[in-house]
């Protein structure tokens, strides 16, 4: 017979363990109260139950109200727990970052173990078909949460990361490990929104003064840019190598970009 110690560990009604949990959570918050670059997650390899995540968030909320300080909170759980927490305004408002780590879309559906099943991520992976993740599936996961909760950052460290870094970036995700180091490019991207391309051949981020294109085989790409002059730069998606395509491209809206390399990243910046 097996005794599931996790059931006892996650019992927040036990008078002794409840205080131990509460004190430990508050100690971590106190330790990093003056470090705005620290992100708080419930734990590593967390596949625990929803009620414990709610307890964790309740303690964070209590601490923030008492101290007047703000903790950066990332929700990193199984998908069922993640969606339940986000559906509740009380807990959703405490969360700053949605972290996709313990589930993912795959080419033939979704891999989404349930929380609170007394199984570690590696144990879930032995019982369920993990499947294959391509750009399309990673993009879908991030863009869905960015669209539904635009006020929150979304990170993705699930299956096939860091190979899916560009998918995360183009879907509006945060902390994507793309190889581009150009500070102006990265700064421009922060002011852009996802533009629905309705195509898997290319994805777009943009605003009225510029755009970023991730091409995976597109020859002609319609762009919603205002008329004017633009500097056009391309990047190798694997190496980040930068090439100036056109120092001063004069375009008139509407404009269709004819790509010189169908597998590249393009950056249009108004000058």
- Same domain for 191 and 254? yes
As for how many domains the chain has, the answer is 2
Q: State how far the Cα of 2 lies from the Cα of 230, in Å rounded to an integer.
A: 66
pLDDT on residue 166: 97
The 10s digit of each residue's pLDDT in 146-190 is 999 999 999 999 999 999 999 999 999 999 999 999 999 999 999
- Same domain for 157 and 47? yes
Q: Which of the four pLDDT bands, split at 50, 70 and 90, describes residue 108?
A: very high
The 10s digit of each residue's pLDDT in 60-94 is 999 999 999 999 999 999 999 999 999 999 999 99
Stretch 218-230: mean pLDDT: 93
Q: Which of the four pLDDT bands, split at 50, 70 and 90, describes residue 4?
A: confident
- How far is Cα of residue 79 from the mean position of the Cα atoms in its chain? 13
- Same domain for 115 and 244? no
The better pLDDT of the pair 1, 8 is held by 8
Report whether pLDDT(260) > 60.
Answer: yes
Q: Which of the four pLDDT bands, split at 50, 70 and 90, describes residue 198?
A: confident
We report the CATH number of the domain holding residue 45 as 3.20.20
Among 130, 161, 178, identify where a domain stops. 178
- Same domain for 49 and 148? yes
List phi, psi (to 5°) of 138.
-65, -40
- Same domain for 92 and 45? yes
- Same domain for 238 and 135? no
The domain in which residue 164 lies consists of: 1-178
pLDDT on residue 1: 56
Q: Which of the four pLDDT bands, split at 50, 70 and 90, describes residue 3?
A: confident
Q: State how far the Cα of 47 lies from the Cα of 116, in Å rounded to an integer.
A: 6
Stretch 123-143: mean pLDDT: 96
Q: State how far the Cα of 243 lies from the Cα of 245, in Å rounded to an integer.
A: 6
Helix-, strand-, coil-residue percentages of the chain, each rounded to 5: 30, 25, 45
Stretch 212-226: mean pLDDT: 93
- Same domain for 106 and 172? yes
pLDDT on residue 90: 97
Q: How many residues does the chain have?
A: 271
Among 178, 213, 241, identify where a domain stops. 178
The chain-wide mean pLDDT, for the chain, equals: 95
- Same domain for 185 and 168? no
We report the CATH number of the domain holding residue 243 as 2.60.40
Report whether pLDDT(228) > 80.
Answer: yes
Stretch 196-211: mean pLDDT: 90
């Amino acid at each position: 017979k097996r005794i599931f110690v996790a059931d006892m560990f996650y019992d927040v009604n036990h008078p002794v363990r409840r205080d131990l949990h509460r004190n430990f959570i508050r100690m971590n918050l106190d330790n990093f109260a003056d470090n705005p670059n620290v992100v708080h997650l419930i734990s590593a390899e967390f596949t625990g139950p929803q009620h414990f995540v709610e307890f964790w968030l309740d303690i964070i909320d209590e601490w923030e109200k008492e101290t007047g300080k703000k903790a950066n909170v990332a929700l990193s759980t199984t998908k069922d727990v993640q969606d339940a927490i986000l559906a509740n305004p009380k807990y959703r408002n405490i969360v700053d970052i949605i972290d996709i780590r313990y589930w993912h879309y795959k080419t033939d559906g979704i891999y989404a173990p349930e929380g609170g099943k007394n199984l570690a991520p590696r144990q879930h992976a032995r019982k369920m078909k993990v499947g294959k993740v391509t750009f399309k599936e990673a993009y879908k996961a991030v863009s869905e949460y960015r669209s539904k909760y635009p006020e929150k950052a979304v990170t993705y460290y699930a299956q096939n990361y860091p190979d899916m870094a560009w998918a995360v970036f183009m879907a509006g995700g945060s902390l994507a490990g793309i190889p581009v180091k150009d500070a102006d490019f990265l700064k421009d991207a922060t002011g852009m929104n996802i533009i629905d391309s309705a195509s898997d051949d290319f994805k777009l981020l943009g605003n009225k003064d510029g755009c970023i294109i991730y091409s995976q085989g597109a020859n002609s790409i319609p762009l919603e840019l205002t008329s004017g002059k633009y500097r056009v730069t391309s990047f190798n998606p694997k190496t980040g190598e930068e090439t100036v395509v056109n120092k001063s491209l004069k375009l008139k809206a509407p404009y269709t970009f004819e790509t010189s390399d169908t597998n590249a990243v393009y950056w249009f910046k108004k000058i």
